[in-house]
Structure 1
Amino acid sequence: MPPRGSSSESLSSSAGSPGGGMLLKATIAPPPTFSGIPPPPPGDPPSWQSPRVPLHVGEAQLDRPAAAQCVLTGLHEKSAGTLYLTNLRMIWEPLQAPNDAKGANEAYAGLPAVLGLETPRLLSVPLYSIVSKKIYRSQAGVIFELLQKYNSRPALRVGLSESDCSRISASLTLHLKPPANPMEVRANVQRSYAVLHGSQLAPTVQREAHSNAFKGWTSTYDASADYQRMGLLNPLSHWRVSEQNADYQLCGTYPAKLVVPRSVKDDDLHKAAQFRSGRRVPVLCWKDPFGVASISRSSQPCVGVSKMRSPQDEALLQAIADTNPFNERLQIIDCRPRVNAELNAAKGKGYEHQAQYINTKLSFMSIENIHVMRASLKTFLKLLEPKTLNASKTGELYKEEDSFLSDLDKSGWMGHILKIIRTTATVVKMISVDRASVLVHCS
């Protein structure tokens, strides 16, 4: 896969171009040099035209706009417009504003543009999604294309003048490709969207922090409100909120507030955590607001081949089962294949044995581990990468892959997704039809 923001060498790497044209090698201007620490970049020059679509806070143009004809079906249907390059995205707008109420705010109109179903209202391509750019000469003139990750069709295909094409391509490369000079790196960072966005929001954040209104993550998620929604704060609830992880010493990967059965003491919670991999003790994730069925999570128990036991861990699972008077058996969903769980037992971990954990039923879901899933996903995404250009026929941009479906099957990705969906359906049936409580874990 070409690196993000590929340079001029990658622009001329293709063997052909649509229409059988000759590739045009872009001239990349050398990056500017800086002496000392550069000041924050100025705003857009007044002479630069701004797009009709509103820019985000901190979004600034990196180069002056260019007249660009968006190439629709094949290389013959074109729509006149303007190309803008900002520190966040590449924007193409038609010259005439849409007449309907949606206007220029209808972003990411890539599908109609590619298929030629209609004249696009707006094309917006995030810079982080760009893996390569291609420049070639065709019957329609100089064509500038942007290819995205895992998208076999160009996200943007426009006709530009040679000078504008060289300028825009150079500015894009300069912004995306890390410079070698440390001072140039600093300059690139200072004009990035993340820095400008943060600096422009800083006064607002400082005012909110000064007034104690800025609460960080809690401004987005209120755990207490969520617990209230699920009926957990009711004095008659079988559950309670524990503060034992307020300093993240009980479990570093769990939230500060943990919901556990009311009958479980905090000291027993610590002892049960010692018996779980990574100290991920069984805790509540969700409860039916109008019922008693619940979903809890944990990691695997450390039983080993000698079937070690923890009275506190066994009592905790029994307490979770006791919160549900309609179905006293706690369903344990082990997402792993059984053979994987057996192998983990040889390493001192494993799974719940029903002889030790009474009133439970263990089910293995045969979902592969993260390493197998990652390899499968990598193979699957490889199938979605932009294909080699085929210049044998005019307008035929990409060669059809007859083996796509067989390669998709070989990747195993659809099989993994099927297992996850089946597991989800199993849990949904347990809590909605059987009215059972469920504990879900893998390793």
Structure 2
Amino acid sequence: MGEKIYGLLGRKLGHSWSVPIHQALGCEGYRLIELEPEELGGFLRREDIGGLNVTIPYKREVMAFCDVIDEGAEAIGSVNTIVRREGKLYGYNTDIDGFLYMLRRARISLMGKKVVVLGSGGASLTAQAAAKREGAREVVVVSRTGPDNYENLDHHAGADVLINTTPVGMWPNLEGQPVDLERFPRAEAVVDIIYNPNRTNLILQAEGIDKRDRLLAGEGLRPEEREFHGGHPIRCTGGLPMLVHQAKRAEELFFGQPIPDYQTELILSRLWQDRTNIVLVGMPGCGKTTVGRELAKLTGKPLVDLDEEIVRRAGKPIPDIFREEGENAFRDLESRVLAETCAKDGQVIATGGGAVLRPENQTAMRRTGRVYWLRRDLNVLPKEGRPLSQKGSLEEMYQMRKPLYEAAADFRVDNNQTAAEAAQQIWSELCANIGNQWP
């Protein structure tokens, strides 16, 4: 018999990061295997299968083809890992290992909590099993057509923990969001098993509520300024830790060899460094492109200068766009270019000074990137070739945009230093906060 097959089995896998994860774990031949439902049976009968991971929509369907199903997978009702041994297919569920690792890493407890699980597919079964194992007080499954559905969410407004197991918000359809978190005012934790993008709209909303409530609670203010309005912190996590840890467990089953848990963190670090966009925002002329060039040299990531891309698309300089078509036309083009650029990963992106003006732009930046606000003394900012900088007072512009930069940014950088120093500070901060973008 020739080389055995190892890979991820699913229907549409363009979003998957599984290949680099399994290759990092030592499975060099791991590949993506896209099949239509009618092809599933024929493929699973192949004698050269070594080990498979299984994803949407086949986690339940493959159980019919397994000769032996692990007791844990049987109890959950779904299989995400298949191993062929001595002519038989053995089915396992390593998703629950990854799910529990993700919860503990984010310091999210389900003990005694009311847990609302969005979705009723194979991933939902894993989340339900994990919630019960962790001692949840109540587990509610919300589906499109079941007794608990998206039309009667108010019945569960008292949920403590919300878990999204649906693909809503997953690449390439990044704009989606399964529910509005304002409908769950008591939620203290949000879990989204989606890992691409880094931060779904659901996670971004949880972050925004958390930031708002911390401010209302007076965090970071002087004692005399504090006024508590009932806000509470929201812990949240995306699905990348789950993905990596379940892959580690699957590799152990594939080859019968234990892999230390620290490998999960090493791979998470590598993915976070390689895949996360570094997005630079700040006033016109604050040095975003210059710092971006230094970051590109330091990290090996390609630099995308948003203004240069806009000029290329428009076929004319930015001052001409403003003069001939007006600011609104420029902002529309800027938003389109920004959304397309940020949908890709592993880049350094230098934005225009006004890219933060539209909320949808801030969302696009933060979904796939870590955002750095470059701050520089206003009296050294150049105005030439910058229509809005020439139009009025830079101080007025700064005061208007300051809260928008604050809202968009994960970290502030003083750029009254050399570009190389600023770039090193940004890279060091990103590496130090690997995987902790959702505290």
Q: Would you say same fold, with TM above 0.5?
A: no
**How does the TM-score come out when normalised to structure 2?**
0.26
Task: Flag the structure with higher helix content.
Answer: 2
What TM-score does the superposition give when structure 1 sets the normalisation length?
0.26
Which structure would you say has the larger RCO, counting Cα contacts within 8 Å and 6 or more residues apart?
1
Higher radius of gyration, 1 or 2: 1
